[in-house]
Amino acid sequence: MNNLELKKRDLEVLWHPCTQMKDHETLPLIPIKKAHGVYLEDFEGNSYIDAVSSWWVNLFGHTNSYINEKIKEQLDTLEHVILAGFTHEQVVRLSERLVGLTPEGLEKCFYADNGSSAV
């Protein structure tokens, strides 16, 4: 795999969110092979600082060993279950910890996949 090949394959099958796809006619995609800490690396070994910092990366960096180990442990038990009518121990434990950190009166957690749903 190389940068050029992945860019071509991507544009044949993907629409990117929050992106004007016509821009990619002149502004090329940056294919990423791997990441560590604040750095992203493409298939040719070029490094980029991840200034977008998706999700937790802005706090903990890419391929954080502690987070990765906890994710691997969780995958061996339960990778996902929707909270519509179901629950599981990990979400209850996390919610209890979060409620313990919030001011009095904030006693429930609501999990959403985007800001619009959260509001």
Residue with more model confidence, 107 or 117:
107
Residue 108, domain member (yes or no): yes
Residues in the chain: 119
Residue 41 lies in a domain: no
β-partners of residue 37 are 62
Instruction: Please check whether residue 40 lies inside any domain of the structure.
Output: no
C-alpha 119/C-alpha 115 separation (Å) is 6
**What pTM was estimated for this model as a whole?**
0.64
Residue 55, pLDDT score: 64
On the question of pLDDT at 116 being above 80, the answer is no
Give the count of domains, the chain. 1
